[in-house]
């Protein structure tokens, strides 16, 4: 039915894609056919990027070359660092700073493809964006803490290097592995709002910088990427007020509020990424001996399960556990969504490149509900 209105485009098919598949009824996520659990446990983020961008898992030699090419692109121009400093000084929010700085990167890109019709150039530009986002984010965080940025180390992994640039210290193996896993879990997720935004931009044959910049903007909203931050803020609030987490949930629901980290447009059962991160949080809690966040999140999930919310399809999503994992890794709360962007950039780039290969301008329409035949009155007669 051509005229059926689908608010929020829910369930509307707009494209074909080989990249990722989400089965929200059973809680399954695959990237190019591979189960997210196998990838999170067995593959590095670099391997996952290769898979998404080039269509198959790399051999060891292919991965080495790919990872080295990516690592070689980590440095950003001094002008970008100066802009990052100015944004930090102005008190800009991290996602907005990332949006601005990512957009600026195109000025220093050696490829002069501005149209998006050269798929190879799109992937080269995408590689530079993906390599440089962690450098921008770590520099922003350090500058606003009154510290100097740390130069990237090409010998470290994508995940390890970010933690190193953020803290100035090489991460231990558990932290690096956990963070790498979190990057893999967030790399792609079908046509979520930010990916669709990047695709819409790509469908005009704009360059991939525009697509990624738009994706960052879409991801910044509280209904999308902002939720992991909301979860952690709630956990900190509960902790600071010594409130019982279950009481907080009761009060919030009585007041008509939503519980951040619960519910998802696609998943009607527990998000498979939440299952893996919960396990990781358990590992981190056990190794550090600090079980506070694990206790709070478990209590909230158990209560909402007892209340029948989970059965109604409002189950924990990836954000419910990622915040606690990042907090344990020492990452500041307002960097969670930027980290999400750092990972999801890989998916945005893959979708833009895939869509532009067989492009069709995305141009839906709205049902017009405004007045008809309004009589125009000149301004001096109104």
Give contact residues for ligand COA (rule: CB under 6 A): 223, 227, 258-265, 314, 317, 319
**Looking at the annotation, which residues are catalytic?**
264, 319
Cβ atoms of 317 and 264 within 8 Å: the answer is: yes
Residue nearer to ligand COA on the CB measure, 124 or 264: 264
Select from 265, 125, 250, 259 the least CA-distant residue to 190: 265
Q: Which two tokens stand for residue 3?
A: 């005229």
**Other Cβ atoms within 10 Å of 18 Cβ, number:** 12
Residue nearer to ligand COA on the CB measure, 176 or 271: 271
Residue nearer to ligand COA on the CB measure, 160 or 261: 261
Closest separation between CB of residue 237 and ligand COA, Å?
16
Cβ atoms of 205 and 115 within 8 Å: the answer is: yes
Instruction: Phi first, then psi: give them for residue 260, nearest 5 degrees.
Output: -65, 145
Using alpha carbons, list the distances in angstroms from residue 46 to 42, 305, 346: 12, 36, 10
Closest separation between CB of residue 126 and ligand COA, Å?
24
Q: Which two tokens stand for residue 229?
A: 């931050």
Closest separation between CB of residue 265 and ligand COA, Å?
4
Select from 188, 174, 131, 173 the least CA-distant residue to 283: 174
Residue nearer to ligand COA on the CB measure, 191 or 259: 259
Closest separation between CB of residue 304 and ligand COA, Å?
8
Residue nearer to ligand COA on the CB measure, 46 or 230: 230
According to DSSP, the β-strands at 34-35 and 20-23 are: unpaired
Q: What does DSSP assign to residue 171?
A: P
Residue nearest to ligand COA (CB): 263
Cβ-based burial of 15 (10 A; exposed 0-12, middle 13-18, buried ≥19) = middle
Cβ atoms of 74 and 371 within 8 Å: the answer is: no
Closest separation between CB of residue 190 and ligand COA, Å?
12
Select from 264, 250, 249, 239 the least CA-distant residue to 316: 264
């Amino acid at each position: 039915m051509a005229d059926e209105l689908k608010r929020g485009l829910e369930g509307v098919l707009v494209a074909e894609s080989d990249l990722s598949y989400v089965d929200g009824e059973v809680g399954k996520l695959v990237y190019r056919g591979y189960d997210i659990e196998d990838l999170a446990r067995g593959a590095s983020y670099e391997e996952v990027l290769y898979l998404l961008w080039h269509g198959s898992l790399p051999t060891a030699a292919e991965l080495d070359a790919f990872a080295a090419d990516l690592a070689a692109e980590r440095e950003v121009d001094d002008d970008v660092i100066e802009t990052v400093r100015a944004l930090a000084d102005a008190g800009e929010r991290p996602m907005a700073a990332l949006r601005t700085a990512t957009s600026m990167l195109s000025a220093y890109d050696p490829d002069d493809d501005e149209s998006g019709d050269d798929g190879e150039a799109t992937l080269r530009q995408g590689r530079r964006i993906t390599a440089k986002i962690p450098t921008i984010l770590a520099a922003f965080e350090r500058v606003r803490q009154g510290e100097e940025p740390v130069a990237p180390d090409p010998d470290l992994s994508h995940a390890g290097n970010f933690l190193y640039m953020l803290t100035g210290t090489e991460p231990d193996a558990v932290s690096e592995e956990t963070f790498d896993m979190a990057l893999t879990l967030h790399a792609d997720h079908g046509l979520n709002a930010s990916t669709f935004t990047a695709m819409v931009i790509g469908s005009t044959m704009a360059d991939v910088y525009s697509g990624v910049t738009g994706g960052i903007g879409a991801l910044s909203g509280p209904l999308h990427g902002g939720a992991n931050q909301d979860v952690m803020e709630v956990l900190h609030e509960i902790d600071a007020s010594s409130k019982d987490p279950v009481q907080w949930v009761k009060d919030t629901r009585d007041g008509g509020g939503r519980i951040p980290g619960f519910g998802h447009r696609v998943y009607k059962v527990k998000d498979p990424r939440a299952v893996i991160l919960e396990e990781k949080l358990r590992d981190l809690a056990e190794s550090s001996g600090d079980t506070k966040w694990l206790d709070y999140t478990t209590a909230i999930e158990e209560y909402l399960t007892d209340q029948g919310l989970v059965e109604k399809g409002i189950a924990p999503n990836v954000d419910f556990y990622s915040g606690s994992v990042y907090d344990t890794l020492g990452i500041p709360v307002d960097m969670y969504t930027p980290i999400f962007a750092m990972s999801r950039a890989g998916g945005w780039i893959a979708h833009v490149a895939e869509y532009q290969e067989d492009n069709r301008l995305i141009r839906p329409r709205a049902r017009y509900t405004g007045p008809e035949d309004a009589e125009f009155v000149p301004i001096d007669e109104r």
